[in-house]
Chains A and B, each alone.
Chain A
């Protein structure tokens, strides 16, 4: 695997839209060619090299390409957008849409990310070693296709509206989350190791939410069924199982109505 190192040298006056920072765009290119890739500030087109020091070279394919981005990236959007393979390591805080619509490969962020990370994600792995913002693994505004596959791991906390319209894949949050979890979801799994606030699973049709800590307020559309033992991916204990959202349509499988499931740990 070949490595390309990008180090931010000039901060954009507004925000930099840099969906070209992805193994797919870099593959087969030398440092000078990578520096020539287009990025946008508002409606102005610039070169990636106007903002970043570029060194190293890319592999022949996205899978053989690793990108290491360094510096203060809190004004850089769309890192790793739509990537299909390879690896991106972000050493710093990044702005919105990290790994949005990604299909494969791995992104590791050694810092925090802003909203919409993993929007519409289809596959691959996104690891955030800090905190995530709102709309993690959600759908784009208006769209009904949220996260559909792959895995997002956040070591710290996450904001509100995570997993909106989620249809598949897995989100694991190490810390706490804000309101609105898995709204409108029709599949997938969300694990919250810390505490949750309220409005979990609103309009949720199918899928699973696990909360290891507290929930401030349960949705009225979720009804308690029974206590169950869970032992899965290192999560162990006795959980209260709720099903919902009773206000939504639910399909049937073998005569049984399928509900979304919300597990809250009552005993480690």
Chain B
């Protein structure tokens, strides 16, 4: 493979602790190496430019059945947005629910190289893997959802952690999944009965278990297995005024549990899109930010990581396994709604949504997301996301960087709100003058998520031995710049390397890369009871047989297996 030497760039790397110094980055055989290891490298002149590791997105909905429902039922999302094939680039379409091809290219253009699909219904894992396979350039993994799964509910009702762990290990292997995802624990199952679980003690109908038992049990099972990532949490009561207490109650369930993982993470719970979970008040009329209360907790508990779920003020498509929430949303905006039940496993809903700067609540949501990041004491534990496409399309990450890095940019946005004064009253953002620097941005978008995922040995930094995922941006941090320069520069990487292959050269996509699918193979002691339960439930309830369930072979043309041994 070709050798590269990226010379004279301003490097921001939390792994090596480099804060904008001029450092040369060397690439050989797909890895970062010492500059002395190169013999005849191709030299990339990065003078006056910013160099970072490839971005890592810990939470996005980019592949699988609900994303595809979004594509299918929103032809208007693709209207006038198609781009014909040109050069190496294949045809692309869609805005908030782009095609797989556009997903890969647009992430690459922002300098991202690893993206995790945040919710995979196990029964439709094959579909999810087919779409990931068709997404160029990016390394990807998918989180199967467990929080409403009948096996899990039955095992955890009796606190059978070992059985729950054996089932998780089996399902990760069967679906080629990466981590344990929990969405509205118990609530989506309750939705099949027309109900919901609105707090952590609201019992799940029929199963006689509470969300608190599910959350705690899944954290314990996750640590029993010692998986690379922690339990990945979307709490109950998403998107409702006053829900911050539910969020704090959910956080507290992780207290006293220590991480048991050889993969270097410090947290036992990752709570996703916290913006949607940080609301005070008791109605949409008096909803207010509780980001401060939430961040006081996060800042003082280091076994927790979170991501933002930043509202970007776009027209987008919401989609989640939180079925009851999507019904709530369609009742609110009267736009079209899709709902699905996934047998014994989960459910989902999809509704288009317009986050308008003229609507007070949307502007408050925008402010809350930014507050979470700006109140973070440790940027290694608070990550940038939009919960794509729920709070906005991922292509807005550079715009979020602009808002985080520039108080002036936030002021401009405040001035554009119709209800500016009411929004300022209901939030804290106008009193926050913090401006993040590129080092902190690199923590929130690269080193932090990589560590939380248990992938710090591969991604998130520029230390020798890591994957050669390197982005060069046309941005000089030492010269004066306007806020919009940030958005422009980080929206279009000058050069991008993925595992040592140059995929972007002079802002042109020049390679479709060699994408890999990451999954976790957790070995556990033989567990005849769980295997008998699996066989029995497939026989009695599933519409498919076990033989038609497992994801194998051609679904993962280029797998990357992370082995975990929990047999001790």
Contacts and interface: CB of A to CB of B under 8 A. Distances in A.
A140 B76 contact: yes
A141 B334 contact: no
B84 A43 contact: yes
A21 B260 CA distance: 66
B75 A141 contact: yes
B201 interface: no
A143 B334 contact: no
B interface, over-half SS? loop
Contact of B75 (A43, A140, A144, A249): A140
A206 to B, nearest CB: 12
A143 B84 contact: no
Contacts of B73: 142
Nearest to B74: A142
Contacts of A141: 75-76
B38 interface: no
Most chain B beta carbons < 10 A, residue from A142, A144, A249: A142
A143 B352 CA distance: 10
Contacts of A143: 75-76, 79
Interface in B67-90: 73-77, 79, 84
Nearest to A205: B334
Interface in A130-169: 140-144
A interface, over-half SS? loop
B336 interface: yes
Contacts of A142: 73-77, 336
Interface string B353-389: 0000000000000000000000000000000000000
Contacts of B74: 142
B37 interface: no
Interface string A42-59: 010000000000000000
A144 B73 CA distance: 12
Interface string B45-86: 000000000000000000000000000011111010000100
Contacts of A140: 75-76, 79
Most chain B beta carbons < 10 A, residue from A43, A141, A143, A249: A143
A143 B80 CA distance: 13
B228 to A, nearest CB: 40
B335 interface: yes
Contacts of A144: 335-336, 352
Interface in A7-62: 43
Interface string A249-262: 10000000000000
B135 to A, nearest CB: 23
A164 to B, nearest CB: 13
A144 B75 CA distance: 11
A225 B76 CA distance: 38
A249 B334 contact: yes
A141 B336 CA distance: 12
Nearest to A141: B75
A120 B209 CA distance: 50
B328 to A, nearest CB: 15
Interface in B314-361: 334-336, 352
Contacts of B336: 142, 144
A141 B72 CA distance: 11
Contacts of B79: 140, 143
Contacts of B352: 144
A249 B330 CA distance: 12
A253 B76 CA distance: 32
Nearest to A19: B80
Nearest to B335: A144
A233 B84 CA distance: 48
A167 B441 CA distance: 44
Contacts of B75: 140-143
11 contacts: A140-B75, A140-B79, A141-B76, A142-B73, A142-B74, A142-B76, A142-B336, A143-B75, A143-B76, A144-B335, A144-B336
Interface of B: 73-77, 79, 84, 334-336, 352
Interface of A: 43, 140-144, 249
Given A141-B76, A142-B336, A144-B335, 9 more contacts: A43-B84, A140-B76, A142-B74, A142-B75, A142-B77, A143-B76, A143-B79, A144-B336, A249-B334
6 residue pairs, one from A and one from B, having the closest CB atoms: A143-B76, A142-B75, A142-B76, A141-B75, A140-B76, A142-B74
